[in-house]
Structure 1
Amino acid sequence: MDCGYSMNYWLLKSEPSVFGIDDLERNTRKNGEELWDGVRNYQARNFLRLMKTGEPAFFYHSNCKVPGIYGMMEIVREQVVDPTQFEPENRYFDPKSKPEQPRWDTVTVAFTEKWPEVISLERLRECFPEQDYGKDFALVRRGNRLSVMPVRESIYQQILALR
């Protein structure tokens, strides 16, 4: 199953105080890839399960002074079991999840590009008003807190043109 496109495009959110694009760049240079761990929302997890190696994703900083898209990353490995669900000392531990039947899957990603200027949520809402794009671009919907979401190819291309 996919999102209805030959290639899917994604937006993944992270709080920069927890893990930002600079962390991704540093870790990718060191390790070649980074586990996108800690997603504990079923809809976001289901989107992670749809991701395929080679697909691009926007890196979005949330819960910060200027929320917005800070750059790009690429899906490196798909269908990865999130190991943090089994680590009792980890804040993403899930006592109901068992190694023989894990509840939380994820992907690994690699840094591809940090943009010289952020495309702020405010600018995204100006360019993609909720009344016109809310159905197709969840990010602009008021109250949306989903940390992983698909992006239609046409919107993906329009965002790239804003850089």
Structure 2
Amino acid sequence: MTMNSLTPRYWLMKNEPDEYSIDHALAAPHQTIPWDGVRNYQARNFMRDDMQVGDGVLYWHSSCAEPGIYGVARIAGNLRTDASQFDPASPYFDAKSSPDKPRWLTLDVQALRKVGPISVAALRQYPQLEDMRVLQKGNRLSITPVDARHWDFILGLIDGRS
């Protein structure tokens, strides 16, 4: 899915609110947190190959009573090896990964603002979003690209323009 470097890029990134909610991110130094614990190769490849500093992010809370968009953020960069893969005490430990051949990466995400929430049910009300990847049956990826038209529509909802 490599994109032209001049094309604006947008992402939806899922995080569990008990680990790193939008409130945690906004309270962090420089409103920036490491996006660690990604253990899906496709999501990792998006981080490694496609995400760039400044890309827009819809900050999604998952595994909660009301999954949906809770914030807007941006990719802050600093792609690096995810150290949690080497920590046997971490829920993200990967016994098959080694420091000389790490499997997993992390990067920094900077929270910009808290919104909504905009629930899945609310998003499904808009025909303009019916083909949005996160709303498709069976989509469980923690990181997905967001089309510019979906990004613009959702920001319009947030800002009261849609």
TM-score under structure 2 length normalisation: 0.88
Shift of the 119–32 alpha-carbon distance from structure 1 to 2, 3 Å rule, reads: closer
CA contact (8 A) 1:9 1:153 kept: yes
Aligned residues: 156
- Give the SS at the match of 1:60: strand
Alignment match, 1:16: 17
1:99 Cα deviation after fit: 1.1
Shift of residue 112, structure 1, vs aligned partner: 0.6
C-alpha deviation, 1:125, in angstroms: 1.6
- For residues 29-85 of structure 1, give each alpha carbon's deviation from its aligned partner in whole angstroms, at most 9, with x where no partner exists: x25521100010111111111210111101001121211101111111143211111
Residues 1:160 and 2:155 aligned together: yes
Question: Aligned equivalents of 2:75 and 2:55: distance in 1?
Answer: 5
- Identity within the alignment, %: 40
Checking the alignment, whether the CA contact within 8 Å between 1:14 and 1:60 is kept in structure 2 is: yes
The reply to whether residue 140 of structure 1 matches residue 139 of structure 2 is no
Structure 1 residues 144-163: Cα deviation after superposition (integer angstroms, max 9, x where no partner):
11110100111100111111
Q: Is the 8 A contact 1:80 1:108 kept in 2?
A: no
Structure 1 CA distance for aligned equivalents of residues 98 and 108 of structure 2:
21
Gaps of 5+ in 1: none
Match of 1:88 in 2: 88
- Secondary structure at 1:17 match in 2: helix
The 8 Å contact of residues 119 and 162 in structure 1, kept in 2 or not, is answered as no
Q: Distance in 2 between matches of 1:108 and 1:102?
A: 18
**Matched-pair contact (CA < 8 Å) for 1:10–1:57:** yes
Contact 1:32 1:110 in 2 (8 A): yes
CA RMSD, aligned part only? 1.8
- Correspondence for 1:45: 44
Distance, in Å, in 2 between the alignment partners of 1:66 and 1:111 is 20
CA–CA distance in 2 between the matches of 1:123 and 1:62?
A: 15
Match in the other structure for 1:67: 67
SS, match of residue 64 in structure 1: coil
Paired residues of 1:52 and 1:78 also in contact (CA < 8 A): no
SS of the equivalent of 1:89 reads coil
Report if the CA contact (8 A) 1:35-1:108 is conserved: yes
Opposite residue 71 of structure 2, the aligned amino acid is G
Are 1:51 and 1:78, in contact at CA under 8 Å, matched by a contact in 2?
Answer: no
Deviations 1:83-109 (A, max 9, x none): 111111111011111111111112111
Q: Say if 2:146 is the partner of 1:151.
A: yes
Q: For 1:14-42, what per-residue CA distance to the aligned partner results, in whole angstroms no more than 9, with x for missing partners?
A: 11122211111111xx2552110001011
Query: The residue matched to 1:54 in structure 2 has which SS?
Result: coil
